[in-house]
Amino acid sequence: MTVTSGRAGSATVRCPICLDVFSWDRTDEDLYRFSEDSSYVPLTIPPGSSPQKREGVRRLAHIRCPNPSGDRPPHFLPLLYTAYRPPIVIGMVGASLSGKTHLLAAIMGEIERDKLAPYGLKADALDPVRHRNFIQQYTQPLMERSRRLPGTVEGVADFADALLISSSEATWPVAFFDVGGEDLSGLRENTRFLSGLNALMFVVDSATVGASADARDDTYRSVLGMLHPGSGYLDVPAVVVINKADLVQFASPVDEWIHRPQADHLQPAAILAESRDAYAYLHRAGATALLQPYRYCRRCTLHFASATGGPARDDGYPHGVRPMRVLEPLVALLAMSGVFGAAAAREVGN
Ligand SMILES: Nc1nc2c(ncn2[C@@H]2O[C@H](COP(=O)(O)OP(=O)(O)O)[C@@H](O)[C@H]2O)c(=O)[nH]1
Ligand SMILES: [Mg+2]
Ligand SMILES: [Zn+2]
């Protein structure tokens, strides 16, 4: 018999880290707290605690995800997780070497530098241990030491990191999955991950835009094919990121956008204008396969971005790493997912 604190009953939860669904009786047992030495230690709420004190402790508490399919290392969720909105689960889709890992490292780096604040958003780690690991493994080597990041294992949709993103009104868990590899259709275990995605970030290597159709087109096709139930539009918001735009930064219309400073609020009209330019850019290059997300997804925006600001030489970036416009695609995806309210969600990507 579990003790409940006036919150009897259980909740059905989809964990944004393993994407398993589990039932969680709202117990105050088996709680953990994130400790100073970056681990989770058991947390008990002393019996007889006042309701105020109990609430204070619960705010810091985490639970361990039971991960029924047993496919992930141990992971933890805030106890108040179910008090938040359903998670926004972003799949970063692209062929290997398109720059997904660098892009996510740069996005997290900009968020660490509080660059979501001008949009009125605040970000915290969902699971502080995992977030710190991500920052130490990817963001710090790239942004503080200008190191080229090693290639990642591809072929399986893999959880990368998750945040709690808050607007003045609500908090959304936002999880990032790396959906790499060329032929995803043969991997049955991917179906579970793909069906758990509710936002897509397609990553295009600008250096390959004019090239003939290749593996990257298959990646798009298999993801869209697996998510797409048949005819009609796919109701998952999508962004197409023309990445490594530093390599084509002087070509029109890339030069119009890539050097622009970050906006200080959500600008649906600018997002639309950039999407039109990026669409024309892909269309002119004959990269019609890369326009599939735009054709199949009900809401889709297109963006130019560069994770590094310049090309690598050997194992590093000799001129330092300066991300350009990496947050804009994320902000558009958040807007289409409702983070800026219903009116903004209708205005972006239609
Ligand atoms: N010029 C340039 N090169 C990049 C950029 N981002 C990544 N790269 C290069 O592209 C290669 C592949 O990137 P990676 O993030 O590992 O791709 P992934 O396989 O999709 O995760 C890296 O070795 C980088 O040197 C960028 O913004 N600009
Ligand atoms: Mg990678
Ligand atoms: Zn889980």
Over residues 55-101, the pLDDT tens digits come to 888 888 999 999 998 888 899 999 988 888 899 999 999 888 899 99
- The answer on pLDDT for 5 being more than 60 is no
pLDDT at position 190 is: 63
**205: Cβ below 6 Å to ligand 1?**
no
Atom of ligand 1 nearest to the CA of 98: 20
Specify which of 7-16, 23-32, 68-77, 229-238 reaches the highest per-range mean pLDDT.
Answer: 68-77
User: What domains sit in the chain, N to C, each tagged with a CATH number?
Assistant: 10-83 (no CATH), 88-347 (3.40.50.300)
Nearest to 302 by CA among 266, 277, 269, 327: 277
Q: How far is the CA of 62 from the centre of ligand 3 (A)?
A: 12
Helices (H), 96-253: 100-112, 128-134, 140-143, 189-196, 215-227
Q: How far is the CA of 181 from the centre of ligand 2 (A)?
A: 9
pLDDT at position 71 is: 85
pLDDT at position 106 is: 98
Q: In angstroms, rounded to a whole number, what is the distance separating the alpha carbons of residues 218 and 226?
A: 12
Taking ligand 2, which is a single-atom ion, which protein residues have CB atoms under 5 Å away?
100-101, 152
- From the CA of 97, the nearest ligand is 1
pLDDT at position 47 is: 87
User: With bands split at pLDDT 50, 70 and 90, how would you rate the model's confidence at 233?
Assistant: confident
Residues 6+ apart with CB under 8 A from 130: 17, 75, 161, 162
How is residue 107 written in tokens? Answer: 């996005």
Sign of torsion, CA 249 252 254 256?
A: positive
pLDDT at position 242 is: 97
**311: Cβ below 6 Å to ligand 1?**
yes
pLDDT at position 214 is: 58
Which residue has better confidence, 169 or 123?
123
- The answer on pLDDT for 189 being more than 80 is no
Nearest CA to ligand 1 atom 28: 244
Q: How far is the CA of 251 from the centre of ligand 1 (A)?
A: 20
Averaged confidence pLDDT in the chain: 88
pLDDT at position 182 is: 59
Decide: 107 and 123 in contact? Cβ < 8 Å. no
Q: How far is the CA of 180 from the centre of ligand 1 (A)?
A: 13
**225: Cβ below 6 Å to ligand 1?**
no
Q: In angstroms, rounded to a whole number, what is the distance separating the alpha carbons of residues 57 and 46?
A: 10
Q: How far is the CA of 292 from the centre of ligand 2 (A)?
A: 22
Atom of ligand 1 nearest to the CA of 150: 16
- The answer on pLDDT for 265 being more than 70 is yes
Q: In angstroms, rounded to a whole number, what is the distance separating the alpha carbons of residues 236 and 197?
A: 8
> Regarding beta strands 10-14 and 21-25, do their DSSP bridges make them parallel or antiparallel, or are they unpaired?
antiparallel
User: With bands split at pLDDT 50, 70 and 90, how would you rate the model's confidence at 154?
Assistant: low
Instruction: Determine the average pLDDT of the residues in 189-213.
Output: 83
Which residue has better confidence, 153 or 334?
334
Which residue has better confidence, 224 or 152?
224
Instruction: Determine the average pLDDT of the residues in 299-306.
Output: 97
Share of the chain above pLDDT 70, in %: 91
Mutate to test the pocket of ligand 1, among 93, 97, 177 (most ligand atoms within 8 A of CB): 97
Q: In angstroms, rounded to a whole number, what is the distance separating the alpha carbons of residues 74 and 317?
A: 35
pLDDT, tens digit, 9 for 90 and up, residues 268-285: 999 999 999 999 999 999
Rounded alpha-carbon distances, angstroms, from residue 103 to 148, 151, 217, 223: 12, 13, 19, 19
Q: How far is the CA of 74 from the centre of ligand 3 (A)?
A: 8
Nearest CA to ligand 1 atom 14: 99
**104: Cβ below 6 Å to ligand 1?**
no
Burial of 198 (0-12, 13-18, 19+ CB in 10 A): middle
Residue 55 CB neighbour total at 10 angstroms? 12
pLDDT at position 183 is: 56
pLDDT, tens digit, 9 for 90 and up, residues 321-343: 999 999 999 999 999 999 999 99
- Per-residue burial over 81-107, b = 16 or more CB atoms within 10 Å of its CB, e = otherwise: bbebeebbbbbbbbbbbbbbbbbbbbb
- From the CA of 243, the nearest ligand is 1
Strand partners, 240: 202, 302
User: With bands split at pLDDT 50, 70 and 90, how would you rate the model's confidence at 4?
Assistant: very low
Decide: 161 and 131 in contact? Cβ < 8 Å. yes
**99: Cβ below 6 Å to ligand 1?**
yes
> Regarding beta strands 88-93 and 171-179, do their DSSP bridges make them parallel or antiparallel, or are they unpaired?
parallel
Q: In angstroms, rounded to a whole number, what is the distance separating the alpha carbons of residues 257 and 267?
A: 14
- The answer on pLDDT for 222 being more than 80 is no
Sign of torsion, CA 346 271 92 170?
A: negative
